[in-house]
Chains A and B, each alone.
Chain A
Amino acid sequence: MPDDPDYIIRVKKDKPVKLFGFQLTGSRLRNKIFARVVFVSVVPLALAAATSLYITGLSHRYDVARIEDNVIQNTRKEIAKIIEETVSTFELFIGINTATGRPYTAIPELKREDVRFILEGILNDISYIETISIIDISNKAEFLKLIRGADGIVDSWKFNDVGGIEYFRKAAGGSNYVGHVYSTIRGPMMTVSVPVKNNEGTIIGVMAGEIKLEPIQDVVAQIRLGEDTGYVYVVEEFGQLVAHTERESSEFLSVGRIPLVAYVLSGKNSIGLGGQSRYTSFWGEEVIAAGSYMSEYGLAVIAEWPVKDANAFLHLVRNQMAGFVIAVTIATIIVSVFLANRIVKPIQELTRVSKRVAIGKFDETASVKTGDEIEDLAMSFNEMMKGLKQLEELREEFVFIAAHELRTPVTAIKGYIQMVLEGATGPLNDKTKEFLTKVVDANKRLVNLVNDLLEVARSEAGRLTVTTVPLEMVPIVRSVLSELKPLADEKSIQFVYNPDSSLPKTMADEGRLKEVLVNLIGNAIKYTIPSTGSTGSPQAGSLPGPEGPSGPRTAGQVVSGTVTIRHEVQGEKLTTHIQDTGVGISKEAQKKLFEKFYRVQTEQTQSITGTGLGLFIVKQIVEKMNGTIWVTSEEGKGSTFSFSLPIAASAF
């Protein structure tokens, strides 16, 4: 029986997974425990984290949208308030003409000095009004126009006919007018106009002015979002920047190509959670943006908040959550590895010890200290092993004693029958001789069996003694061949042995080595079955010369087979091959050949007797001499048994 425990108990082995030399997985149970612990702890955690992240993100987006919307709405209100207040500045109340006692019907009826005083007062009070004029409704000509020049307020030299200009026509029609924004050297400006009515509500003129958008710029400049990084800007209907939290509007920037701005300028609002946009801004920052359109003034109010700042809180939460999940995952993996090891290791210990028991080794108990049912199982296992050990010892003792006790009587039987055959009790007739010869043969087999059993018993009891010394292999082989030559001659088997004279000495026990050689060469002879009806061997022509130890042969002599012995030096080993031309051994049989009581059972070998212990004993002896033994064979073509032994140190 081979010593490899896996030969007896077949264990499925998985490839171990190691990390930094630490075994993470490696057995099925460990894999299962590891995977399931990780699954039940990490997956819910990851899902919870993802869900939490989603909800937090959604909530945060809602918050950002709400903040931006509030800022936009407030900006809209401020802009509307500024424009409305400015327009209201131009609303002029014309009372009764004191000279006539009737309402004024035309602007020219007013005293130019009075009008100038009023207009100049407005220009002095409101610094962002650049021009102001009053136009008569009838002749459509400017009655008075004041301009804020570099040297102060001056009268316009030219009083134009403005009848075809939009701001006059609208106001003359009774509506307040707020014109388009246009760019000037002093910044964006717009024209406003309002109808001038007398105390009866009749429109007698138009008051018009051109205003800078400084108040809007001032309001927008104060608006911030988040950590002062978010900003607002106002765009006029052609996409020209009017005001910006951080930048001078005189930068003449056209931002109408920004998709969000274009969308808003088309008259739509882009606010709320659904209206939020994210893009790289005109100024190169990734922003979250929203916008709203002031249709009454043709202005778009856009809020842009750099993502970096807007999502700073979310990034913090996300990073903390990711850190937590990673930490828990790592901890879970480590814990699951330890947990798996804690469960698997005692089981592995039990498996290891049970494998030793399977090959009859009871010298080691399972050491499991888990303080739980697995330790109880290990203790029970150790108790069971003790019982088995006792049984095994009893069996070995029985075999040894039985074999030993049997050897004395069978030896006596052998001696006495031999004496009877030799005529010590008087002459024997042929029939008696024949019967006694069969008794001798049977007794011989019995002696062999008893000897083999004793040898096996010694081996298993550890009493097989081997003393290795440096030995010359060739004389020993020659001696064995000489001993077995009669047996070979009986079957017309020729020995072939041409050793190299320079072979090194080998470390072996001479008696045990002879035992090995006798067994292997004897088997070679035994399993080389002579051919019948042949007068010449097919191999005769290739037989070696008369130098062989089997002695000279003459041409034409019948040879039924050959047994070839040769040596080979392989590194620090001397290998001896015994090759026969016998029946050969099947692959299946080769695997069990060195097991106890195994015999190759074929049609050709059924008549050959044996105990089935020879090769087991040979293997024990060779291994005891620190050697190895193996066989190569092919059915019908013979076998080669090889054993290698260590070369004596003196040979090097």
Chain B
Amino acid sequence: MKRLFVVGLLCGMVAASAVGLFLFKNRVEENVKVTQSQIHRYGDPETSIEKVRIKAFYVVPTDQNEVNEEKWRWLRARMIYALDQAALFHEVQFRRQSAIVYDIYPNPVILSRNSDYYDAGSRTVILISNEIEKRVFRPSGDLYDESFVQSGPSEYNVIGLVYEGPGGWGGAVYESGLEDPEKIADCLGISPAMVAIVEGEFADGFFLVSNKEYFFDPNFRSFGTSIVYHELGHAMGLPDRYVSKGIEIDNVSASCDEPPEQAAGVVSVRQTNDIMGLGRFKPIEINYIDRELTREMGLVE
């Protein structure tokens, strides 16, 4: 009985202390959960873009002015600056979950034909990309450089072209069972002008920006880097977010099994002030990618 009393006494004291300590404690909540983003091509979770490798070229049609060393050095410096800024912008927008690296081809590439051949609107980028694939990335090509064409196994490869001519275009490469661009366009519900057959196996995407307009012209230069990223964005599958005289569509499906929500010619673009919209005409330092787009690329915030 006495033992019970002493044990009860001690238990009471311990319980009183425990109650005091318990009441002293604040409400404890679950700690932070971190969910890792899996950054992928826009609307295409199967294609990772956690590491994007740009193979950049300065491409010059045969009939353009001769490229001298000084001009090439100046342009190369501008390309490095633009790609560095684009990489930094990308890192900010994707919270360091995706990175861009680049290699600049050591010399300007003199294309095999005159400007008349290449200045074909949105097809310019396809024509030049196909030629670069053949001449640079194939061992049989006259500009083949084994060390340059190397890339990592899980990298998303983009051919970036600084063109000595007009324009700015970009696009991503999708696999299709169809061979006719008309049929593919019809299947996807977009303009045939937006579809082209790509030759070569290296690139997952490509873009082209005009040297004259976005690197050299003082009126464009302040937002030239934004244009570079805008076109690079297309190479990662991002759609335009502005209204233009062409065809506006903001849903490109890679498969005919998934019909697009919008039909060709219907203006349904959600206009934004981000880099894929009107923001492409402001400096990249104050630019951003709309969250609707980053979310569709797997960014979890």
Which residues of A approach B to under 8 Å, CB–CB? 28, 31, 35, 38-39, 42-43, 46-47, 49-51, 53-54, 57-58, 61, 130-131, 147, 149-151, 154, 156-158, 160-165, 167, 180, 182-186, 189, 191, 210, 212, 238-240, 250, 252-260, 276-282, 288, 307, 314, 318
Contact = CB atoms under 8 A, between A and B. Distances in A.
Interface stretch (B13-21, B52-60, B254-262): B13-21
A254 B95 contact: yes
A530 B21 CA distance: 85
Interface string B202-244: 0000000000000000011011000000000000000000110
Nearest to B15: A50
A158 B16 CA distance: 75
B27 A54 contact: no
Contact of A252 (B9, B16, B24, B96): B96
Given A51-B20, A184-B288, 20 more contacts: A35-B6, A43-B9, A50-B16, A53-B21, A61-B26, A147-B286, A149-B222, A164-B243, A165-B277, A182-B288, A183-B288, A185-B89, A185-B92, A210-B282, A252-B95, A257-B32, A257-B33, A259-B30, A277-B27, A318-B24
Interface string B145-177: 000000000000000000000000000000000
A254 B26 CA distance: 26
Interface in B264-301: 269-274, 277-278, 281-288, 291, 300-301
Given A240-B301, A279-B30, A157 B272 contact: no
Interface in B1-54: 2, 5-6, 9, 12-13, 16-17, 19-21, 23-35
B93 interface: yes
A38 B2 CA distance: 14
Contacts of B33: 257
Contacts of A35: 2, 5-6, 9
A265 B33 CA distance: 16
Nearest to B22: A54
Given A43-B13, A54-B20, A276 B26 contact: yes
Nearest to A329: B13
B127 interface: no
Interface of B: 2, 5-6, 9, 12-13, 16-17, 19-21, 23-35, 85, 88-89, 91-93, 95-96, 219-220, 222-223, 242-243, 269-274, 277-278, 281-288, 291, 300-301
B202 to A, nearest CB: 30
B267 to A, nearest CB: 9
A54 B287 CA distance: 53
B281 to A, nearest CB: 4
Contacts of A39: 9
Given A43-B13, A46-B17, A183-B92, A280 B31 contact: yes
A47 B286 CA distance: 63
B20 A53 contact: yes
5 smallest A-B Cβ distances: which pairs?
A164-B271, A50-B20, A57-B24, A182-B288, A278-B26
A180 B273 CA distance: 12
A46 B16 contact: yes
A570 B14 CA distance: 57
B291 to A, nearest CB: 6
Contacts of A38: 9
A160 B278 CA distance: 7
A625 B281 CA distance: 126
20 contacts: A35-B5, A38-B9, A46-B13, A53-B23, A54-B20, A61-B26, A149-B222, A151-B222, A157-B281, A160-B242, A164-B243, A164-B269, A164-B271, A184-B287, A185-B85, A186-B286, A189-B288, A191-B273, A250-B92, A257-B33
B243 A161 contact: yes
A158 B213 CA distance: 13
B220 A157 contact: yes
B34 A257 contact: yes
B222 A147 contact: yes
B218 to A, nearest CB: 9
B228 to A, nearest CB: 14
A239 B89 contact: no
A256 B301 CA distance: 7
A278 to B, nearest CB: 4
Contact of A185 (B25, B30, B242, B285): B285
Given A38-B9, A43-B12, A259-B30, A147 B17 contact: no
Contact of B271 (A158, A162, A186, A254): A162
Contacts of B21: 53
B217 to A, nearest CB: 9
Nearest to B288: A182
Contacts of A191: 273
Chain B CB within 10 Å — which of A46, A61, A185, A253 has the most? Answer: A185
B273 A254 contact: no
A206 to B, nearest CB: 13
Contacts of A131: 282, 286
Contact of A238 (B13, B27, B93, B291): B291
A146 B88 CA distance: 24
A203 to B, nearest CB: 20
Given A46-B17, A183-B288, A240-B301, A260 B29 contact: yes
